[in-house]
């Protein structure tokens, strides 16, 4: 096993994100001492790993397995009810613990199930994708979707620990890894320019999951997220900067009926946000070019059909209305200098989109 990096997140409640290799084999080290049962919520491709976990923890705790649909199919009330049923039938108590083993959708569901059972039981998040490691599993946003939209039901529920075992990325298609890197790029632009320099130095090495640079990028991105959510767990202010590129990105995901990878939509959203930052703020043009160059080096898309603007704008306006707010964007005054842009006029938004449209 390689050395483990510990990245603390302040609370309340405080917890650690552990980053290393082979960590799943030692999960008992992070289980709450009082837990007698553990419910492992996992997607079908992780069945063998969940079973291995059951064998590993046998004797220490009773392990229950809840296999849930892959990807967004997990984030449904019926799936949460299936997990609650297992917990009800096994007298799952407040000192027992949930483990979320999977990508962002699985850990969102597992966090939600943990947040709601008996008004809250501990959850240990074990992300198995880059997106999950650097974003979804850290920070305690949990939730499910409804017919009306994504993440409309949920809770802020901090995990007891997050275990980032880089060995769990083995076997993932490289385009899945690259899509997760959109969030890594985001962390570079909003807070940590060293991330951008490492990507620019050699993107092949940076995205090789065996390389130390890959690990450094994952750790740096987690540190960005950990710092932000330590300051503002419930998104009263600073946490909003994590939405850089996401306002348009979410509208593209909606337009594509959620068949696109999140990272691909966010990639286009970041190009738009960079153009808007140039028009509405002081982001130098070379940083807009740099945004495109880095995303393209990761084979992520940087353009979207020009004719879709009206639909995208309507979706963004509807989303914001649901939160009784104005259309808000995170823009950069420079690299690592994000701020909120409020009430922007539509002509400026369209001007920025024209640079994205193809
Ligand atoms: N994914 C954005 C956040 O956790 O706030």
Nearest to 217 by CA among 2, 3, 5: 5
The torsion angles phi and psi of 333, rounded to 5 degrees, stand at: -80, -25
Torsion of CA 227, 230, 234, 239, to 10 degrees: -20
**What is the reported pLDDT for 19?**
98
> In the chain, where are the structural domains located?
5-169, 174-354
Average pLDDT over the chain, rounded to whole? 95
Give the tens place of pLDDT for each residue, 62-105.
999 999 999 999 999 999 999 999 999 999 999 999 999 999 99
226 CB near ligand 1 (under 6 Å): no
Residue 196 has pLDDT above 90, yes or no: yes
Domain at 174-354: CATH code: 1.20.1090.10
* 39 touches 64 (CB < 8 A): yes
Is the peptide bond between 210 and the residue preceding it cis, with omega within 30 degrees of 0? no
| Cα gap 168→36, rounded to integer Å | 26
For ligand 1, say whether the CB of 239 is within 6 Å of any of its atoms.
yes
CA–CA distance, 162 with 133 (Å, rounded to integer)? 9
pLDDT at 321 over 60: no
Q: What are phi and psi of 273, to 5 degrees?
A: -65, -35
Task: Read off the pLDDT of each residue in 152-167 and give the average, rounded to a whole number.
Answer: 97
DSSP β-bridge partners for residue 337: 334
Query: How far is 111 from 94, CA to CA, in rounded Å?
Result: 14
Distance from residue 135's CA to the centre of ligand 1 (Å): 6
Question: Ligand 1, atom 3: nearest CA belongs to which residue?
Answer: 242
Q: Which CATH class is domain 5-169?
A: alpha beta
pTM summary value: 0.96
């Amino acid at each position: 096993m390689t050395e483990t990096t510990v990245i603390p997140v302040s609370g309340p409640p405080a917890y650690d994100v552990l980053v290393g290799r082979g960590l799943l084999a030692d999960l008992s080290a992070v289980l709450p001492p009082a837990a007698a049962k553990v419910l492992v919520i996992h997607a079908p491709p992780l069945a063998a790993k969940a079973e291995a976990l059951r064998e590993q923890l046998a004797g220490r705790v009773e392990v229950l397995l809840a296999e849930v649909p892959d990807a967004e199919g997990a984030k449904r009330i019926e799936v949460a009810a299936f997990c609650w049923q297992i917990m009800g039938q096994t007298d799952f108590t407040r000192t027992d613990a949930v483990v979320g083993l999977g990508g962002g959708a699985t850990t969102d569901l597992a966090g939600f199930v943990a947040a709601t059972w008996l008004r809250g039981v501990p959850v240990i998040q074990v992300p198995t994708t880059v997106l999950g490691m650097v974003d979804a599993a850290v920070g305690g946003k949990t939730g499910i979707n409804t017919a009306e939209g994504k993440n409309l039901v949920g809770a802020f529920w901090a995990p007891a620990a997050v275990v980032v075992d880089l060995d769990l990325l083995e076997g993932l298609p490289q385009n899945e890894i690259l899509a997760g890197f959109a969030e890594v790029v985001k962390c570079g632009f909003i807070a940590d320019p060293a991330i951008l320099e490492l990507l620019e130095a050699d993107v092949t090495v940076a995205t090789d999951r065996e390389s130390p640079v890959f690990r450094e990028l994952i750790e740096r991105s987690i540190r960005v997220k950990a710092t932000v959510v330590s300051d503002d767990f419930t998104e009263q202010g600073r946490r909003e900067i994590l939405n850089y590129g996401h306002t348009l990105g979410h509208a593209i995901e909606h337009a594509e009926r959620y068949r696109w990878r999140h990272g691909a939509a966010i990639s286009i959203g970041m190009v738009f946000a960079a153009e808007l930052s140039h028009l509405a703020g002081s982001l130098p043009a070379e940083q807009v070019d740099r945004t495109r160059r880095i995303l393209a080096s990761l084979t992520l898309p940087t353009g979207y059909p020009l004719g879709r603007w009206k639909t995208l704008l309507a979706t963004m306006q509807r989303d914001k209305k649901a939160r009784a707010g104005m259309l808000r964007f995170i823009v950069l005054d420079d690299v690592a200098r994000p701020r909120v842009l409020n009430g922007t006029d539509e002509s400026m938004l369209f001007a920025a989109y024209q640079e994205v449209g193809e």
